[in-house]
Every structure is written in C-alpha cells, then in structure tokens.
Amino acid sequence: MKKWGLCIWLILFCAGCSSTEAMNIADSPLRQVHLYPLTIDRYFFPRDVNVLAIGDSLTEGVGDNDDQGGYVSRLQKKMLQHKGIRAVTVTNLGKRGLRLSQLDDVVETHPQAVKEADIIFITIGGNDVMKIVRSHLFDLSYSLFEREQKTFVKRLDRLMATIRTWNEDATIVLIGLYNPFSSSLQAIPEIDDVIDLWNNGSKEVISRYDHTIFVDVKDLFDNRDDVLYSDQFHPNELGYELIATRVYEQLQKEKTWLGRIEQ
C-alpha cells in the first residue's frame, strides 16, 4: 500500500512540475530569433568560359616570335587569373589576309563555335585599309578612305547581325585599328585621321548592339617602332602583350560580361 501511495505521490509531483513549467513558458516573453540568409561569394563556383576569336593576322598572331599565339593566348592567360574563371577554352579562327567581307563566311561555316561562345574577340580592318593603299598607291586621298569607310561600316553591321542570329548573349569585343603607316604613307598626312575615322565608325556600329565592347589600341602604337614586327605592320611580342593587357583592362571595367556567364 505504501508503494502505491509513493507512486501516486510521484505522479502528482511530476504533474505539478509540468504544470508549473508550462505556466512559466506561457508567461515568459517570446524570444525572437533572427535568421539571416547565407551569402556565398559570387566566385565560390568558378565558371568555364568559351572564347571565339575571329579576324585577320592579328587574331592569328602573325609577328609573335615567341609563338605564344599573339594577343589571344596572352589574353587567355590573363583571364585565367580571374578568381571567377576556372578554365578558358579558345577557338581561334584568325587567318592572315582576311578582310571584313570574308568574315561572314567564317561565322556562317562555324555556327556551333559561335553559338557556344561566351566571348567573341574580333580584329579586322587592317587588310581593308591595305587594299585601298595598294589599289590606289599613286592617287591616295582622304576622301577615298572616307568613301571606303562607309562601305566598311555597312559590312560590319551585317557581320554583327549575322553573329547575333547565332548568339544573342555573347559579349562581342572589337579591337580597333592602329596606325603602322606613319612613316610609310607620307603621301597621306591625314592617315591618323583616317584611322580615327574608321575606328569611330566601327565603335558607332557595335554600340547599336547589346553586350559589345570596343577596345581602342591606337595610342599603344603611335610613334612606336619597338612594338612592331620586322615587317613594320604586325605587332611583335611587346605589341601583342600591350593589346592583351588593354583588352583585359577593358573587360575588367565592363564587369557585366562575367556576370552573364555566372547566371
């Protein structure tokens, strides 16, 4: 009987404690717990980047005695230093002697490379200028270059439209012309103005399209023979390094290009 009494007493005691505990919990103010969203660094998961390079001998890397692939390979190494990039795959379709009118065929015969590209680098126009020089060596004039420039920008606009039919989102980087003719074309004292005219026209064309960057490199070559190959036309190793650095600096400023890759 004593055992039963002890059990009953224990049950009543526990019930009383539970009731007291419940009353205490009910009577005490609720403590607010603040939960903050977990933030992960945007570069925590580095991405792979597909690069397509199209254009003339500058894209091919002619004049690079170090055989490092001109500005494209140097730029690839710089891009790999970015903590948001894990790998950079490059498809280089540059070919010596190409003019703008021939780039449409390059794009149309490599649609998959265009579709898969995150960034498209273009160098073009030097051979278009040279064609004018060779065809009119004895009657060169500013008005002649001015007339041909209008045709050039129309073709550039068509090229941009062709690229965008295959790839709407890739960042397109057009590298401007520089002037290697300062000493050789004394018959055209306005040759600097000619280069500026063509660059400004190209810049205006690509500005009509989203996700585009124009990189001016003319000042890197002005009155400098030390950045040119022995043919006094193509960049040498230093010239390509300067181009690669300028392009990468421009990409750093235009941060949205990497943001689209990260989406």
Mean pLDDT of 15-25: 48
**Mean pLDDT computed over 175-184:** 81
Task: Report how far apart, in Å, the C-alpha atoms of 180 and of each of 40, 169, 173, 241 are.
Answer: 48, 34, 22, 17
- pLDDT at position 28 is 52
Between CA 64 and CA 237 the distance in angstroms is 5
Give me the pLDDT at residue 182, please: 62
H/E element, 240: helix 237-253
Residue-level pLDDT at 46 = 83
In this structure, are strands 85-92 and 119-123 parallel, antiparallel, or unpaired? unpaired
pLDDT score of 183: 55
235 SS3 class: strand
The class level of CATH for 48-262 reads: alpha beta
Mean per-residue pLDDT, 46-68 = 94
Q: Would you place residue 66 in the very low, low, confident or very high pLDDT band (cuts 50, 70, 90)?
A: confident
Q: Which residue type occupies 170?
A: A
User: Does residue 6 have a pLDDT over 80?
Assistant: no
- Residue 93 above 50 pLDDT? yes
Give one word for 97, left, alpha or beta, with left for phi > 0 and alpha for psi -120 to 50: left
The pLDDT of residue 154 is 97
What does pTM read for this prediction? 0.81
181/86: higher pLDDT:
86
Please say if the pLDDT value at position 235 is more than 60.
Answer: yes
pLDDT at residue 97 tops 90: yes
For residue 32, the model assigns a pLDDT of: 59
pLDDT of residue 168: 95
How high is the mean pLDDT of the chain?
A: 85
Across the range 171-177, mean pLDDT stands at: 97
Distance CA 144, CA 60 (A): 29
Contact 125, 57 (CB under 8 A): no
Query: Which residue did the predictor score with more confidence, 196 or 182?
Result: 196
Please choose, from the candidates 186, 97, 91, 171, the residue with its C-alpha nearest in 3D space to the C-alpha of residue 137. Answer: 186
More confident residue, 153 or 141: 153
- pLDDT > 90? residue 249: yes
